[in-house]
Amino acid sequence: MEEEYNPLAENTAIATSLAQKNSIDNQNQYYQQEQETNLAEAQLECETTLTRLYHQLRQDFITLNNQESITWNEIKDQKKRRLTDDGVNRIMELMSFYVNKENLLSNFNEEQINGIMLRFRLAFSANILMRYKLYFRQPTFEECKDIFLLRIKDKQKLKLFAGEMAGVKLDSKEIEENLLKEYENRIEQELAKIKEEKKKEMLSEFEMLFEQLSQLVFATLNRAWKGEERGSIRRHTNISEVIGNRPQQQKETGGMLSRWKRN
């Protein structure tokens, strides 16, 4: 009875061990597939890049929450914004056509990349210069008025300082009235001049903005050079298969078979 029981118990234990092994292998395979999927998704994920670009174009600033997460906050002084909301939205619409997984998974040679970049730079520069009022924020009348009054105050302080240095006591109110009379007949021209100055100041940001956006497009296209991005994903998958569970499974199964033979 004991001689019949021992092989049966051993066979049952082997079967149980194989079942457990298969269960572990299935779990490992599922985990490996999940890792490969997460890797591919992370490699092709463009939303984070575009979201960061959106906030940067709006000149939002970052605050850290417990050193773990970040929050984008709107710039407090809206007068410091360079781009309009319509301008930001138009640029984001444009960039989404270039920064996406379809382009990342493409297969471009150097000539194609150079051609795309040339057409992008020519078209974008022409569009933004012809429609700069859409892209760049124009100073309001109130802003121009504040700048004008600030300049009057600065001249007033300068005259008071000059009188002080000369040992002459001047009346602050009288100086202000004289300065306003001086500009009385050309306030409109002064405000127009201030507006033009602010416009040029805004447009001076164009070159840097143009280069930053061009670099982002160029970097995206270069990742698709000769299908490098999809080739990279394929290599990761092949490596995972080589170091995965299959060789180990064959080796351990062989061990089980040898024990069956010994019995």
Paired sense of beta strands 61-65 and 69-73, if any: antiparallel
pLDDT score of 251: 43
pLDDT, tens digit (0-9, with 9 covering 90-100), for 41-59:
556 678 889 999 999 999 9
Distance CA 123, CA 118 (A): 9
Residue pointed to by tokens 């930053």: 212
pLDDT, tens digit (0-9, with 9 covering 90-100), for 191-245:
999 999 988 888 888 999 999 999 999 999 988 886 665 555 555 444 444 445 4
pLDDT band at 92 (very low <50, low <70, confident <90, very high): very high
Domain layout of the chain by residue ranges: 1-44+230-263
Mean pLDDT of 107-130: 93
φ, ψ at 224 (rounded to 5°): -95, 10
Distance CA 99, CA 217 (A): 6
Q: SS3 for the chain, per residue?
A: CHHHHHHHHHHHHHHHHHHHHHHHHHHHHHHHHHHHHHHHHHHHCCHHHHHHHHHHHCCCEEEEECCCEEEEECCCCHHHCCECHHHHHHHHHHHHCCCCHHHHCCCECHHHHHHHHHHHHHHHHHHHHHCHHHHECCCCHHHHHHHHHHHHHHHHHHHHHHHHHCCCCCCHHHHHHHHHHHCHHHHHHHHHHHHHHHHHHHHCCHHHHHHHHHHHHHHHHHHCECCHHHHHHHHHHHHHHHCCCHHHHHHHHHHHHHHHHHC
Mean pLDDT of 90-94: 95
Q: Which two tokens stand for residue 174?
A: 């009288």
pLDDT band at 27 (very low <50, low <70, confident <90, very high): low
For residue 88, how many other CB atoms are within 10 A of its CB? 20
Distance CA 262, CA 208 (A): 76
Beta bridge partners of 108: 225
Mean pLDDT of 161-177: 85
| pLDDT over 60 at 115, yes or no | yes
